[in-house]
A and B are shown apart, each in its own frame.
Chain A
Amino acid sequence: MDTPILRNNFKSEEYQINMGPQHPATHGVLRLLLTIDGEIIKKVEPDLGYIHRSIEKMCERDSYQQIVHLTDRMDYLSSHINNEAVCLTVENALQLEVPERVKVIRTIIAELTRIASHTLWWGVMGMDVGALTTYFYGFRDRELINDIFEETCGARLTMNYNIPGGLMFDIHPNFVNRTKEFIAHFKTKLPEYDLLLSGNIIFQKRMQGIGILSKEDAISYGASGPVGRASGYSCDVRIHHPYSNYDNVKFNEILKTEGDTLARYQVRILEMWESLSIIEQLIDNIPEGDFFAKTNVVIKLPAGEYYQKVETARGELGVYINSTGTKNPYRMKFRSPGFSNLSLLNHIAVGGKIGDLVATMATLDLVIPDIDR
């Protein structure tokens, strides 16, 4: 009875499969070269460059006012925060004191951006695990924020509301009321998110215990934002290096210790509550005053190196400017959160199934133009 079947030595072979650059789960033109054994992932090799526009090089060509506009096209879901990062760097270099009013408005809009980004992430996250309805719920609430933005600065996605020294325009008279309306609306709608997806037993079973990232790995891979915080790594720039008006508001840093996909999911949901509380603290106390500080038309930074980091919806965005005293930067570098978060994908996805990879990737919340730049 020594048949091959009984000896059970089927030869299994690993094979490679291209996930992307055109694939529904990669949310853009990311190409993942997967090595798979059956359904089990053996290796994930991200391949970048499909949407590389050499933004950093273009920055060397442009004036500082123009650079702000380029940063919209990096992480387009937190465009306002990207703009803010560049403006803060330039303002720090010029040692320019911006009015309080600007700081407060920037903070409010940054938090609205964060909520908008997280609602979109939530909708897409649901789609990635097969629950298509979440997408529309997420977009319903995001649309209201976009309307506020549209009224305030004319754009819905690539906002360009910041300029070095302040804001492009003052807020619209309706801004305060509409933001308050949104807060009231969203407070009733956010629990729906839990009813529809978070509480679902299938969803919880799928998310628990996959894509586990330990705190040590989170630090060594440079994870930031909700990805790092879900692993217990306290890395919120808003708390550790407060900028704009974050030192005047009270909010909690959401920390989880599990480090799995479900923890990353919960961190983002809870962050939306925190953002709401930040906006609530500020919306009634917008100080009167100018909406910009006067700068020269041609901004020349003193020679030297400048660095500023901010917390975008995805994590820590660092802006590095090396100036030689001319009107253009000599070298400009962005430290994008998505790039570091993508680099740990291979580490946490190996050993899981294809479905796990998709779920894990969804909670990393990758925006490909942010990674490629």
Chain B
Amino acid sequence: MNITKSIHEWLFSLMPEMTASIVEMVLIAVIYLAIFAVAGLYLVLLERKVAAWFQLRLGPNRVGYLGLLQTLADALKLVSKELTITEKADKFLYNLAPYFVIISALMALSLFPFTQEFQAFDINIGIFFLIAISSIGVIGILLAGWSSNNKFAMIGAMRSGVQTISYELSVGLSLLTMVLMTGSLQLSEIIEVQKHGWLIVQGHIPAFIAFCIFLIAGTAETNRAPFDLVEAESELGAGFHTEYSGMKFAYFFLAEFINMFIIAAIAATVFFGGYLSPFGITESIPLLGIFWFLAKTLVIIFLMMWFRWTFPRLRIDQLLILEWKYLLPLNLMNLILMAMMVLLGLTIQF
């Protein structure tokens, strides 16, 4: 975008190169933090509205127009709450844990190309970096469960460890299947390839299977129902964050929603062409890319919410059986199928 370019030039003309780049980084970080907070807050509101629609209710509609300020008020309440800590907790790890979760979510957010030029961090190992970063989050959950010194939290944390390690395989493999077609891990290049048709169209059958697996495994990665064994309020109270209060709890809560956004954004980018418009109808206006990107992401987020409000929770052994006995073998076969297709040139391109 021209604005960012001119800001960039203006900053570098104003001060020495070193300071200018530091200032620029801080600026970008602040912008992303703002996006992060707003996205988190409004996803919470969306979740509550969607839940209400599923549950024959109205949802929040009192604070602000149509309840638009509801989550802001909730956030204010959380900020003003006392940060409690139990006596037997491991204080250092207990305080550290929320940051792992929130930072991993924030770092992953910086990778997405919102439009062709609105992307903070375009590296050549994009997909790999995303998977690596998002698996840091589970360390925070494990630490939270361990350091709380609470049996319910501990059970939740152990479940989370088992679950995330298992389902990360499926997330990685299903994305790898798509990378076979793009030949690059870089997110901007993955989108570039899709100018000849979205990957889910190009790769038809194996791509669709990969998308289904990714959506299931991604839901599991974010610890949302039907895979919310980590929290499982009817079994464990609140799971790993039982002992957290105030802003520390809010970090876990927000991170869950940002993680959902990230999974949906990966799906939108890798399978549905990211910021590209369908059939190239608005390619002449690059700024509209952000609209298409968010629209696709929101549709997938809606799917994930739909899962949450209609499905019951799995049991821990069923969760592992689903991954190791069904998803993983299917995924490996799908990978081979995709490789054959790419080799034989059976992909569809416009």
A residues with CB within 8 A of B: 15, 17, 23-25, 39, 126-133, 135-137, 140, 196-197, 200, 202-203, 205-206, 353-356, 358
9-residue interface stretch from B50-58, B185-193, B290-298: B50-58
CB-CB nearest in chain A for B52: A136
Q: A129-B312, A133-B51, A353-B317 are in contact. List 10 more A-B contacts (CB 8 A).
A: A130-B232, A130-B311, A132-B51, A135-B55, A197-B312, A203-B312, A206-B313, A206-B314, A353-B316, A354-B236
The verdict on A128 contacting B234 (CB below 8 Å), with A17-B151, A353-B317 known, is: yes
CA distance A255 to B312 in the complex (A): 26
Determine if B318 and A133 form an interchain contact, defined as CB atoms under 8 angstroms apart. Answer: no
Determine if B233 and A24 form an interchain contact, defined as CB atoms under 8 angstroms apart. Answer: yes
Determine if A206 and B312 form an interchain contact, defined as CB atoms under 8 angstroms apart. Answer: yes
B349 within 8 A of A: no
Among B55, B233, B309, B315, contact of A206 (Cβ-Cβ < 8 Å): B315
Among A130, A136, A356, contact of B57 (Cβ-Cβ < 8 Å): A136
CB distance from B302 to the nearest CB of A (A): 15
CB distance from B240 to the nearest CB of A (A): 15
CA distance A24 to B237 in the complex (A): 7
CA distance A133 to B51 in the complex (A): 8
The verdict on A130 contacting B151 (CB below 8 Å), with A24-B234, A24-B237, A25-B235 known, is: no
Determine if A196 and B310 form an interchain contact, defined as CB atoms under 8 angstroms apart. Answer: yes
Determine if B315 and A355 form an interchain contact, defined as CB atoms under 8 angstroms apart. Answer: yes
CB distance from A363 to the nearest CB of B (A): 13
The verdict on A39 contacting B155 (CB below 8 Å), with A133-B55, A137-B56 known, is: yes
CB distance from B150 to the nearest CB of A (A): 10
Determine if B312 and A355 form an interchain contact, defined as CB atoms under 8 angstroms apart. Answer: no
Among B152, B225, B311, contact of A200 (Cβ-Cβ < 8 Å): B311
Determine if B151 and A15 form an interchain contact, defined as CB atoms under 8 angstroms apart. Answer: yes
CB-CB nearest in chain B for A22: B237
CB-CB nearest in chain B for A125: B312
Determine if B317 and A17 form an interchain contact, defined as CB atoms under 8 angstroms apart. Answer: no
> Hey, which chain B residues are within 8 Å of A15, CB to CB?
151
CB distance from B229 to the nearest CB of A (A): 8
CA distance A331 to B28 in the complex (A): 78
> Hey, which chain B residues are within 8 Å of A128, CB to CB?
234
Interface residues of B in 307-335 (CB under 8 A from A): 309-318
CA distance A129 to B233 in the complex (A): 10
> Hey, which chain A residues are within 8 Å of B155, CB to CB?
39, 354
Residue with the greatest number of chain B CB neighbours at <10 A, chosen from A24, A200, A355: A355
Among A23, A24, A131, contact of B310 (Cβ-Cβ < 8 Å): A131
Determine if A131 and B235 form an interchain contact, defined as CB atoms under 8 angstroms apart. Answer: no
B226 within 8 A of A: yes
CA distance A128 to B228 in the complex (A): 13
Q: Enumerate 22 A-B pairs (CB-CB under 8 Å) in ascending A order.
A: A17-B151, A17-B152, A24-B233, A24-B237, A128-B234, A129-B313, A130-B225, A130-B228, A130-B312, A132-B55, A132-B309, A133-B55, A136-B55, A137-B55, A200-B310, A202-B313, A206-B312, A353-B317, A354-B155, A354-B236, A355-B229, A358-B234
| A-B contact number at CB 8 A | 78
CA distance A298 to B226 in the complex (A): 59
> Hey, which chain B residues are within 8 Å of A203, CB to CB?
312
> Hey, which chain B residues are within 8 Å of A205, CB to CB?
318
CB-CB nearest in chain B for A126: B312
> Hey, which chain B residues are within 8 Å of A356, CB to CB?
315
The 10 closest A-B pairs by CB, nearest first: A130-B313, A136-B55, A131-B312, A129-B312, A355-B315, A25-B234, A130-B312, A128-B234, A203-B312, A17-B151
CB-CB nearest in chain A for B314: A202
CA distance A39 to B314 in the complex (A): 14
CB-CB nearest in chain A for B236: A354
Determine if B316 and A355 form an interchain contact, defined as CB atoms under 8 angstroms apart. Answer: yes
> Hey, which chain B residues are within 8 Å of A354, CB to CB?
155, 235-236
Determine if B316 and A39 form an interchain contact, defined as CB atoms under 8 angstroms apart. Answer: yes
CB distance from B307 to the nearest CB of A (A): 10
> Hey, which chain A residues are within 8 Å of B54, CB to CB?
133
Per-residue CB contact flags for chain B residues 44-71 toward chain A (1 = under 8 Å, else 0) read 0000000100111100000000000000
> Hey, which chain B residues are within 8 Å of A132, CB to CB?
51, 55, 225, 309
Among A24, A135, A355, contact of B313 (Cβ-Cβ < 8 Å): A355
CA distance A355 to B229 in the complex (A): 9
CB distance from A138 to the nearest CB of B (A): 11
> Hey, which chain A residues are within 8 Å of B56, CB to CB?
136-137, 140
CB-CB nearest in chain B for A140: B56
CB distance from B97 to the nearest CB of A (A): 22
CA distance A273 to B155 in the complex (A): 40
> Hey, which chain A residues are within 8 Å of B318, CB to CB?
202, 205-206
CB-CB nearest in chain A for B56: A136
CA distance A8 to B317 in the complex (A): 21
Per-residue CB contact flags for chain B residues 15-59 toward chain A (1 = under 8 Å, else 0) read 000000000000000000000000000000000000100111100
CB distance from A129 to the nearest CB of B (A): 4
> Hey, which chain B residues are within 8 Å of A358, CB to CB?
234-235
Among B235, B237, B310, B311, contact of A355 (Cβ-Cβ < 8 Å): B235
Determine if B316 and A130 form an interchain contact, defined as CB atoms under 8 angstroms apart. Answer: no
> Hey, which chain B residues are within 8 Å of A202, CB to CB?
226, 311-314, 318
CA distance A281 to B152 in the complex (A): 50
CB-CB nearest in chain A for B317: A353
CB-CB nearest in chain A for B231: A130
Residue with the greatest number of chain B CB neighbours at <10 A, chosen from A23, A200, A354, A358: A354
CB-CB nearest in chain B for A34: B151
CA distance A131 to B57 in the complex (A): 16
> Hey, which chain B residues are within 8 Å of A140, CB to CB?
56
CB distance from A27 to the nearest CB of B (A): 10
CB distance from A214 to the nearest CB of B (A): 23
CB distance from B157 to the nearest CB of A (A): 13
Determine if A129 and B55 form an interchain contact, defined as CB atoms under 8 angstroms apart. Answer: no
